[in-house]
Homo-oligomer: A and B are copies of this chain.
Amino acid sequence: MDLRVPGPTPLPPPVREALAAEMINHRGAEFRALLAAVTAGLQHVLQTEGDVLVLTGSGTGAMEAAIVNLISPGDRVLAVTVGAFGDRFAEVAQAFGAEVSTVASPWGRAANALALEDALARTPHVRLVLVTHNETSTGVTNDLRALAEVVGARRGEGGPLLVVDAVSSAGAIPLPVDAWGCDVAITGSQKAWMAPPGVSMLSMSERAWAAAERATCPRYYWDLRKACRAAERHETPWTPAVNALQGLHAALAMMRAEGLEAIYARHRRVAHRMREGAKALGLELFADPAHASNTVTTLRVPEGVDGEMLLRRVRELGVTLAGGQGALKGRIIRVGHMGYVDTADIDRVLQALAAALG
């Protein structure tokens, strides 16, 4: 079965082999070497010299970790949202007592840097700006660099921190965390990282650490100060997902061997093939073509076609795709192409779609 949902993604053979390794002591030298290597690999891909922490939990858990470590109840948060995951990030902040304002774009469209600038100008004392780099629900990649510049212009004493949901972008789409001034970037093992789900990763800038010292949200499991102290000796405060990290380690070795530029180019090539192939089948892109994602392609279900039935037929042909979320259920199909994927995989997706539609 070809797994082409927007995560979890297929596991390369070396990763699967690593997952079946003997269990090791999470308080021993072998684990410490593993975590040190994984952390260095993540810093390399995220292009950051800041701390990168490895958490046991899904990407949503890391979103919660970011919120509870950076705010106090009543703090103002500006959430830039262009889909389900942007909305989720806003919800997490709300759940922990933030005063959340949103800067929303219609689903399928990218975020507007001018709208963010306006909102920041209108809203005093914004502590955090939450941005989704790649919106998995709509297949849109925001222009993070432009959004980051807007936030960066308000840096300095009391200026907002930029917190980026990079769950489905990092490792596939350029994200130079330090160069773009991302204070926190969040990602997940099961996306471009070619590892199984269960581990989320999060970078922290110096300014983010300063905020973590001031924040008063209650926290324990997600207390990043504890994670940081443990990371200094290459450990985690709680028992980590050892075998998922062994898998991630193998995947990071593959990524280093391929090289960042080659990885980005492959994702561009794969996404291009997917979009062009879909158009050739008469399918319409859901996402604004100017901001169509290189990790997830969203396609409108043609008039008169039952979206659920289409997914089922494609699955019978050996390819698993995803449907739409929320209001898009039944209206779009989503093709994941991040991590362990190349154009031949896309050709099989296109063949299955052609057969199912034809």
Contact = CB atoms under 8 A, between A and B. Distances in A.
Contact of A221 (B20, B64, B199, B247): B64
A57 B57 contact: yes
A176 interface: no
A72 interface: no
A243 B196 contact: yes
Interface in A227-257: 237-244, 247
B238 A56 contact: no
Contact of A56 (B9, B197, B217): B197
Given A240-B58, A241-B198, A244-B244, A218 B95 contact: yes
Interface stretch (A10-18, A146-154, A261-269, A270-278): A10-18
Contacts of A8: 23-26, 239, 242
A67 to B, nearest CB: 8
Interface in A3-59: 3, 5, 7-11, 16-17, 19-28, 56-59
A130 to B, nearest CB: 14
A239 B8 CA distance: 8
A222 B44 CA distance: 31
A16 B247 CA distance: 13
A60 B220 contact: yes
A58 B22 contact: no
Chain copies in complex: 2
A137 interface: no
A91 interface: yes
A15 to B, nearest CB: 9
B11 A61 contact: no
Contact of A61 (B91, B199, B238): B238
A223 to B, nearest CB: 8
A1 interface: yes
Contacts of A219: 95
A219 B91 CA distance: 11
B19 A20 contact: yes
A269 to B, nearest CB: 23
Contacts of A63: 221
A320 interface: yes
A97 B216 CA distance: 12
Interface in A168-212: 188, 190, 196-199
Nearest to A218: B96
Contacts of A58: 56, 221, 238-240
A161 interface: no
B28 A11 contact: no
Interface of A: 1, 3, 5, 7-11, 16-17, 19-28, 56-61, 63-64, 91-92, 95-97, 188, 190, 196-199, 217-221, 237-244, 247, 320, 322
Given A7-B239, A8-B242, A64-B220, 5 more contacts: A19-B19, A27-B322, A58-B239, A95-B219, A197-B239
> Top 5 closest A-B pairs, CB basis?
A198-B241, A20-B20, A196-B243, A58-B238, A95-B220
5 contacts: A11-B23, A26-B197, A56-B58, A64-B221, A95-B218
